[in-house]
Structure 1
Amino acid sequence: MSQENVEIVRSWFTALADGELAPELWHSDLVVDNTPEFPITGPYCGHEGLQMWWDDLSEVVDGATIVLDEVAALDRDRVLTVQRITGTFSNTRIPVNAPWIAIFVVRAEKLQRVSGYSSRRQALEALGPLE
Protein backbone atom coordinates (compact mmCIF):
# COMPACT_ATOMS: atom_id res chain seq x y z
CA MET A 1 0.00 0.00 0.00
CA SER A 2 2.87 2.40 0.66
CA GLN A 3 3.83 2.80 -3.03
CA GLU A 4 0.20 3.48 -3.91
CA ASN A 5 0.15 6.18 -1.24
CA VAL A 6 3.27 7.76 -2.73
CA GLU A 7 1.46 7.91 -6.09
CA ILE A 8 -1.61 9.52 -4.48
CA VAL A 9 0.62 12.21 -2.96
CA ARG A 10 2.39 12.71 -6.31
CA SER A 11 -1.01 13.08 -8.00
CA TRP A 12 -1.89 15.90 -5.63
CA PHE A 13 1.34 17.76 -6.36
CA THR A 14 0.73 17.30 -10.10
CA ALA A 15 -2.76 18.77 -9.71
CA LEU A 16 -1.37 21.62 -7.61
CA ALA A 17 1.18 22.40 -10.34
CA ASP A 18 -1.79 22.65 -12.73
CA GLY A 19 -3.53 25.12 -10.39
CA GLU A 20 -5.97 22.60 -8.89
CA LEU A 21 -6.37 21.64 -5.23
CA ALA A 22 -7.94 18.29 -6.27
CA PRO A 23 -10.38 17.91 -3.35
CA GLU A 24 -11.37 14.52 -4.77
CA LEU A 25 -8.00 13.19 -3.57
CA TRP A 26 -8.76 14.26 0.02
CA HIS A 27 -11.07 12.90 2.73
CA SER A 28 -13.85 15.35 3.56
CA ASP A 29 -12.53 15.58 7.15
CA LEU A 30 -8.97 16.44 6.07
CA VAL A 31 -6.63 18.52 8.22
CA VAL A 32 -3.75 20.75 7.08
CA ASP A 33 -1.45 22.18 9.74
CA ASN A 34 2.06 23.59 10.04
CA THR A 35 4.53 24.26 12.82
CA PRO A 36 4.51 27.72 14.42
CA GLU A 37 7.54 28.85 12.36
CA PHE A 38 5.36 29.01 9.25
CA PRO A 39 3.57 32.22 8.25
CA ILE A 40 0.31 30.24 8.12
CA THR A 41 -0.21 27.49 10.67
CA GLY A 42 -3.80 26.28 10.63
CA PRO A 43 -5.30 23.93 11.35
CA TYR A 44 -7.32 24.06 8.16
CA CYS A 45 -10.13 21.49 8.16
CA GLY A 46 -12.24 19.96 5.42
CA HIS A 47 -12.38 20.85 1.74
CA GLU A 48 -13.18 24.48 2.60
CA GLY A 49 -10.13 24.51 4.85
CA LEU A 50 -7.95 23.23 2.01
CA GLN A 51 -9.09 26.17 -0.12
CA MET A 52 -8.54 28.58 2.79
CA TRP A 53 -4.99 27.18 3.25
CA TRP A 54 -4.21 27.93 -0.39
CA ASP A 55 -5.84 31.37 -0.23
CA ASP A 56 -3.86 32.26 2.91
CA LEU A 57 -0.62 31.00 1.37
CA SER A 58 -1.27 32.93 -1.84
CA GLU A 59 -1.92 36.07 0.21
CA VAL A 60 1.53 35.79 1.84
CA VAL A 61 3.40 34.74 -1.33
CA ASP A 62 2.49 36.33 -4.66
CA GLY A 63 2.71 33.88 -7.54
CA ALA A 64 3.04 30.98 -5.10
CA THR A 65 4.20 27.78 -6.74
CA ILE A 66 4.97 24.57 -4.88
CA VAL A 67 7.57 22.26 -6.41
CA LEU A 68 7.92 18.66 -5.20
CA ASP A 69 11.58 17.73 -4.75
CA GLU A 70 11.32 14.36 -2.97
CA VAL A 71 8.66 11.87 -1.92
CA ALA A 72 9.09 8.65 0.09
CA ALA A 73 6.86 6.21 1.93
CA LEU A 74 7.59 6.09 5.64
CA ASP A 75 5.22 3.27 6.56
CA ARG A 76 1.82 1.88 5.56
CA ASP A 77 -0.06 5.19 5.98
CA ARG A 78 2.52 7.99 6.01
CA VAL A 79 4.46 9.66 3.21
CA LEU A 80 7.26 12.21 3.64
CA THR A 81 7.72 14.96 1.07
CA VAL A 82 10.28 17.67 0.54
CA GLN A 83 8.97 20.62 -1.43
CA ARG A 84 9.77 24.25 -2.11
CA ILE A 85 7.56 27.28 -2.35
CA THR A 86 8.61 29.87 -4.86
CA GLY A 87 7.21 33.31 -5.51
CA THR A 88 7.56 36.77 -3.96
CA PHE A 89 6.66 37.76 -0.41
CA SER A 90 3.65 40.07 -0.71
CA ASN A 91 4.69 42.64 1.89
CA THR A 92 8.41 42.93 1.15
CA ARG A 93 8.59 41.98 -2.55
CA ILE A 94 11.55 39.73 -1.64
CA PRO A 95 11.78 36.56 -3.77
CA VAL A 96 11.19 33.32 -1.89
CA ASN A 97 12.46 29.84 -2.67
CA ALA A 98 11.96 28.02 0.62
CA PRO A 99 11.99 24.27 1.22
CA TRP A 100 9.95 22.52 3.88
CA ILE A 101 9.08 18.98 4.88
CA ALA A 102 5.58 17.53 5.04
CA ILE A 103 4.13 14.32 6.37
CA PHE A 104 0.99 13.12 4.59
CA VAL A 105 -1.36 10.55 6.10
CA VAL A 106 -3.22 8.47 3.52
CA ARG A 107 -6.21 6.33 4.51
CA ALA A 108 -8.55 4.39 2.22
CA GLU A 109 -6.73 5.77 -0.84
CA LYS A 110 -7.38 9.41 0.10
CA LEU A 111 -5.27 12.10 1.74
CA GLN A 112 -6.43 12.63 5.31
CA ARG A 113 -3.86 14.91 6.89
CA VAL A 114 -0.74 16.86 6.03
CA SER A 115 1.54 18.50 8.55
CA GLY A 116 4.33 20.88 7.56
CA TYR A 117 7.70 21.10 9.33
CA SER A 118 10.71 23.34 8.91
CA SER A 119 13.21 20.45 8.83
CA ARG A 120 13.39 16.71 8.22
CA ARG A 121 14.60 16.21 11.78
CA GLN A 122 11.62 18.11 13.20
CA ALA A 123 9.23 16.04 11.06
CA LEU A 124 10.74 12.71 12.05
CA GLU A 125 10.78 13.66 15.74
CA ALA A 126 7.09 14.56 15.52
CA LEU A 127 6.33 11.15 13.99
CA GLY A 128 7.67 9.06 16.81
CA PRO A 129 8.37 5.39 16.05
CA LEU A 130 7.58 4.20 12.54
CA GLU A 131 5.40 1.14 12.03
Structure 2
Amino acid sequence: MAKSSRSVADDACPCGSGLPYARCCAPLHAGLAAASAEALMRSRYSAYALGRVDYLLASWDPATRPAAAELVLDSATRWLGLKILRHEPAGDEARVEFVARSRTGGASAQRLHEISRFVRRDGRWFYVDGTFPDA
Protein backbone atom coordinates (compact mmCIF):
# COMPACT_ATOMS: atom_id res chain seq x y z
CA MET A 1 0.00 0.00 0.00
CA ALA A 2 1.43 3.40 -1.03
CA LYS A 3 1.99 6.05 1.61
CA SER A 4 0.08 9.27 1.26
CA SER A 5 2.03 12.38 0.33
CA ARG A 6 -0.44 14.57 2.20
CA SER A 7 0.89 16.69 5.01
CA VAL A 8 -0.66 18.64 7.86
CA ALA A 9 -0.55 21.68 5.54
CA ASP A 10 -3.05 19.95 3.20
CA ASP A 11 -5.48 19.14 6.00
CA ALA A 12 -8.33 21.37 7.12
CA CYS A 13 -7.14 23.93 9.64
CA PRO A 14 -7.85 22.89 13.24
CA CYS A 15 -9.41 26.32 13.92
CA GLY A 16 -12.52 25.33 11.95
CA SER A 17 -12.29 28.03 9.27
CA GLY A 18 -12.81 25.46 6.50
CA LEU A 19 -9.54 26.47 4.85
CA PRO A 20 -6.49 24.24 4.50
CA TYR A 21 -4.01 24.74 7.34
CA ALA A 22 -1.42 26.02 4.83
CA ARG A 23 -3.72 28.92 3.86
CA CYS A 24 -5.10 29.64 7.32
CA CYS A 25 -3.06 29.38 10.53
CA ALA A 26 0.25 28.05 9.13
CA PRO A 27 1.42 31.50 7.90
CA LEU A 28 0.77 32.93 11.37
CA HIS A 29 2.63 30.03 12.99
CA ALA A 30 5.52 30.86 10.63
CA GLY A 31 5.65 34.49 11.81
CA LEU A 32 3.07 36.48 9.80
CA ALA A 33 1.20 38.99 12.00
CA ALA A 34 -2.48 38.20 12.59
CA ALA A 35 -4.85 40.72 10.97
CA SER A 36 -7.20 40.70 13.98
CA ALA A 37 -7.54 39.43 17.52
CA GLU A 38 -9.97 36.80 16.22
CA ALA A 39 -7.38 35.56 13.72
CA LEU A 40 -4.84 35.36 16.54
CA MET A 41 -7.35 33.46 18.71
CA ARG A 42 -7.94 30.95 15.91
CA SER A 43 -4.20 30.52 15.37
CA ARG A 44 -3.64 29.97 19.08
CA TYR A 45 -6.36 27.29 19.15
CA SER A 46 -4.61 25.61 16.20
CA ALA A 47 -1.30 25.87 18.06
CA TYR A 48 -2.83 24.04 21.03
CA ALA A 49 -4.23 21.39 18.69
CA LEU A 50 -0.85 20.93 16.97
CA GLY A 51 1.32 21.18 20.10
CA ARG A 52 3.01 24.45 19.02
CA VAL A 53 4.18 25.70 22.43
CA ASP A 54 6.68 28.01 20.68
CA TYR A 55 3.87 29.88 18.95
CA LEU A 56 1.71 30.05 22.08
CA LEU A 57 4.55 31.72 23.98
CA ALA A 58 5.44 34.07 21.10
CA SER A 59 1.82 35.23 20.75
CA TRP A 60 1.34 35.80 24.49
CA ASP A 61 1.78 39.32 25.88
CA PRO A 62 5.16 39.45 27.67
CA ALA A 63 3.51 41.07 30.72
CA THR A 64 1.35 37.98 31.38
CA ARG A 65 3.21 35.19 29.53
CA PRO A 66 4.16 32.19 31.67
CA ALA A 67 7.69 30.82 31.68
CA ALA A 68 8.26 28.24 28.97
CA ALA A 69 8.62 25.49 31.59
CA GLU A 70 5.15 26.33 32.95
CA LEU A 71 3.36 25.86 29.62
CA VAL A 72 3.14 22.10 29.23
CA LEU A 73 0.64 20.62 26.79
CA ASP A 74 -0.83 17.18 27.44
CA SER A 75 -0.14 15.03 24.37
CA ALA A 76 -3.20 12.93 25.25
CA THR A 77 -5.51 15.91 24.72
CA ARG A 78 -7.38 15.95 21.42
CA TRP A 79 -8.95 19.27 20.43
CA LEU A 80 -12.44 18.74 19.00
CA GLY A 81 -13.56 22.16 17.84
CA LEU A 82 -13.62 25.90 18.24
CA LYS A 83 -16.61 28.22 18.10
CA ILE A 84 -16.11 31.98 18.14
CA LEU A 85 -19.09 33.58 19.92
CA ARG A 86 -18.07 37.21 19.47
CA HIS A 87 -15.16 39.48 18.54
CA GLU A 88 -15.14 43.02 19.94
CA PRO A 89 -12.29 45.14 18.56
CA ALA A 90 -11.68 48.53 20.20
CA GLY A 91 -8.63 50.16 18.63
CA ASP A 92 -5.50 48.43 19.89
CA GLU A 93 -7.46 46.23 22.30
CA ALA A 94 -10.00 43.51 21.66
CA ARG A 95 -12.00 40.77 23.32
CA VAL A 96 -12.84 37.41 21.78
CA GLU A 97 -15.38 35.11 23.39
CA PHE A 98 -15.10 31.48 22.37
CA VAL A 99 -15.88 27.91 23.28
CA ALA A 100 -13.25 25.24 22.69
CA ARG A 101 -13.94 21.54 23.13
CA SER A 102 -11.37 18.88 23.95
CA ARG A 103 -11.02 15.34 25.20
CA THR A 104 -8.12 13.90 27.17
CA GLY A 105 -7.61 10.18 26.92
CA GLY A 106 -10.85 8.26 27.37
CA ALA A 107 -12.47 10.98 29.49
CA SER A 108 -15.64 12.79 28.52
CA ALA A 109 -15.31 15.83 26.28
CA GLN A 110 -14.65 19.09 28.09
CA ARG A 111 -15.81 22.58 27.19
CA LEU A 112 -13.69 25.70 27.76
CA HIS A 113 -15.69 28.95 27.58
CA GLU A 114 -13.41 31.99 27.75
CA ILE A 115 -13.51 35.71 27.10
CA SER A 116 -9.95 36.52 26.06
CA ARG A 117 -8.31 39.94 26.09
CA PHE A 118 -5.88 40.93 23.35
CA VAL A 119 -3.64 43.93 22.78
CA ARG A 120 -1.96 45.17 19.58
CA ARG A 121 1.60 46.48 19.84
CA ASP A 122 3.72 47.54 16.87
CA GLY A 123 1.17 46.03 14.48
CA ARG A 124 1.03 42.61 16.18
CA TRP A 125 -1.77 41.16 18.30
CA PHE A 126 -0.95 39.41 21.58
CA TYR A 127 -3.09 37.35 23.97
CA VAL A 128 -3.19 39.01 27.41
CA ASP A 129 -5.48 36.88 29.59
CA GLY A 130 -9.01 35.59 29.88
CA THR A 131 -11.98 35.16 32.14
CA PHE A 132 -14.30 32.18 32.37
CA PRO A 133 -17.99 33.19 32.39
CA ASP A 134 -19.11 29.62 33.20
CA ALA A 135 -17.04 29.52 36.41
Q: TM-score, normalised by structure 1?
A: 0.51
In the alignment, does 2:28 pair up with 1:12?
A: no
Count residues in correspondence. 97
Q: Which residue of 2 aligns with 1:29?
A: 62
Aligned twin of 2:18: none
% identity of equivalent residues: 7
Correspondent of 2:108 among 75, 87, 94? 94
More helix by share: 1
Question: In 1, Cα distance between the equivalents of 2:123 and 2:101?
Answer: 29
Partner of 1:71: 87
Structure ID, larger Rg: 2
Report if aligned partners of 1:67, 1:83 keep a CA contact under 8 Å in 2: yes
TM-score, scaled relative to structure 2? 0.50
Q: Partners in 2 of 1:66 and 1:31 — Cα distance?
A: 26
Runs of 5+ consecutive residues of structure 2 not aligned to the other structure = 1-32
The structure-2 alpha-carbon separation of the partners of 1:28 and 1:115, relative to structure 1 and needing over 3 Å to count, comes to closer
Q: Which residue of 1 aligns with 2:118?
A: 104
Q: What is the root-mean-square deviation of aligned Cα atoms in Å?
A: 3.8
After the TM superposition, list the runs of 4 or more consecutive aligned residues in structure 1 that deviate by more than 4 angstroms.
Answer: none
> Cα offset for 1:63?
1.0
